[in-house]
Structure 1
């Protein structure tokens, strides 16, 4: 069972290790949660590779109490953000040059990569810092293969406001998209760039839903009714997504799947399956995928690296999911929604 995944942060890990110069390590082995040998062993066939303007000084999640509101770092200046984004793009291009993966801009290209036994990579921007008011940088990234964008990470920026790492809490925190943010979403709509809702607050979510005519997608988000974390999607949000034919990718992060919201990797498979059951109930069997957040999360101990993905497939089987349902969650649903967002289907 090959898996297509909605989110990983391996480019951030590589940037910390030296960027493009560290790229060969992806082919031989990295200390984090994901590299090429373990991806092949785990049946990881491809997914969204995130560019992110990383922030220093994040709170140590291991010290969180039973209730928390994690202070967010300061915004990253545009020039600094753009430098990091372009460096991470160059690292992904290096991985393609080394034959580790292929940057894909269509589902046909993803299918060819799968047939050839090569990882497929969607170039994704998590937080649009660095994109100027004339959107020249957006067009530059698009030419390099960008086909997915989240306007914000959790910290606010000139485009809108994200949800903080707060538990217990809903996502109705702060104002929605700025005027420039609405212009960004409209531009993505015109260009056929997927807009990721994962880090947006409720007001921003509603703004995107008002502008977009494409399926609404949260690449790595879970259900708030199961775990009341601010980053998780309420049933009202899931209903809007379902009406659009959208999709949510299951995030493995402990604070989003543990009912107590704790950063603890002692997580039985049942916690993830409870999320999948709820998402399927609200979005339908064609509206749920996987969005691991590898190299950016604390996953369950038994699912702590990409080579352990077969254990998740086995858990779904033991839970009673049919082979057809598992295939849709692991691969087919992502192909459906990408084809619609990228205008391959009308």
Structure 2
């Protein structure tokens, strides 16, 4: 069964490395979670490919391991950790980096057979309709709106470059919104919401058919998006706060709000948000500047696939199965060893079946719910 995935960070990994991006995506690279050969093997038909602007100075490693000396850049708390906040970034720098990553994405679409930039629900349906091995569709997404001019003067340019999804903030405050900090245990009510410019951005995105993603927003920011638009609420990669009290996870109240608007929640595969014992071991997914290493992947062994399914099942129970999907965060987080990389997607779907999801429900989680919400946001 083909899958639409809510989030990956492959573009960042390619942009920050010295590998040839075309051969890496076309031929495969075991150092990353996603490439075309393995996407075909895992039946990934389409996904949101994030454009993310890292800090001008590297983020801290921010790793805390219980019973061991924590690294100085992480703030140890009685029960876990808190990653220190980082300063806002320069908008001209953000534009340059984002434009470079969008250029990279379009180069891949030009030079890699069967790699496509998709900008409509019909494009996504075409990718889903193909038998595996088929095409891989990339939905351009801004993870954090720093590349957008405060007066929105370049928003139409970004739309022309294919951007069809924007998250107002990453976990770093900007001109549009506060980002929720990385903290465990914690609560998403951890800062301010949208600014006036942020509300203007949400309305402008709705007018242009650009989906607004509430991932990384504070609880107040989430509420502000809900107040600024009648479109379905979308959180591309998150998990259930009732199961793991991470600041980036959604409360039951937020899950209910998503359901009330006909929206969707993409369940992250990121270890730190899936299981309390794992979250307390590391905040490593906060470090967007660190390359994924084999040692880091090994640390995911204590997070079974069942923990991921727990979150899918919980959100389905609270919000309804029609409001839960997948939002892996491949190449942006450490994922359970039982998943490994994009080739593990069929195992995720099999685990849902074993948990009692019927075939129609598995199809909703795999791609049906994403497709419905994309049609709503994109006016199709």
Tell me the TM-score normalized by structure 2: 0.87
Distance 1:325 1:160 in 2: 35
| Aligned partner of 1:91 among 104, 114, 118 | 104
Within 5 Å, give how 1:1-346 maps onto structure 2: 1-18=1-18, 21-30=20-29, 31-55=31-55, 56-65=57-66, 66-98=79-111, 99-116=113-130, 117-260=134-277, 261-262=279-280, 263=282, 264-265=299-300, 266-344=302-380
Q: Cα offset for 1:42?
A: 1.1
Q: Secondary structure at the match of 2:338?
A: helix
Distance 1:314 1:241 in 2: 26
| CA offsets 1:172-227 (integer angstroms, 9 cap, x no match) | 11111111111111111111111000110011111100011100000101110111
Q: Which moved more, 1:61-70 or 1:38-47?
A: 61-70
Aligned equivalent of 2:288? none
Contact 1:27 1:100 in 2 (8 A): no
> 1:94/1:10 Cα in 2 relative to 1: closer, same or farther (>3 Å)?
same
Distance 1:255 1:192 in 2: 32
| CA offsets 1:269-318 (integer angstroms, 9 cap, x no match) | 22111101111012211101000000000110111211122221221122
Q: Secondary structure at the match of 1:13?
A: helix
Q: Which moved more, 1:92-101 or 1:239-248?
A: 92-101
Contact 2:233 2:258 in 1 (8 A): yes
The unaligned stretches of length 5 or more in structure 2 are 67-78, 283-298
Contact 1:24 1:95 in 2 (8 A): no
| CA offsets 1:112-156 (integer angstroms, 9 cap, x no match) | 233342111111000011211331222111011111000000010
Distance 2:65 2:174 in 1: 25
Q: Cα offset for 1:70?
A: 0.6
Q: Cα offset for 1:41?
A: 1.0
Distance 2:147 2:88 in 1: 11
Q: Cα offset for 1:61?
A: 4.4
Q: Secondary structure at the match of 1:63?
A: coil
Q: How many residues align?
A: 343
Q: Cα offset for 1:33?
A: 1.2
Distance 2:114 2:54 in 1: 24
Q: Cα offset for 1:22?
A: 2.5
Distance 1:3 1:270 in 2: 19
Tell me the TM-score normalized by structure 1: 0.95
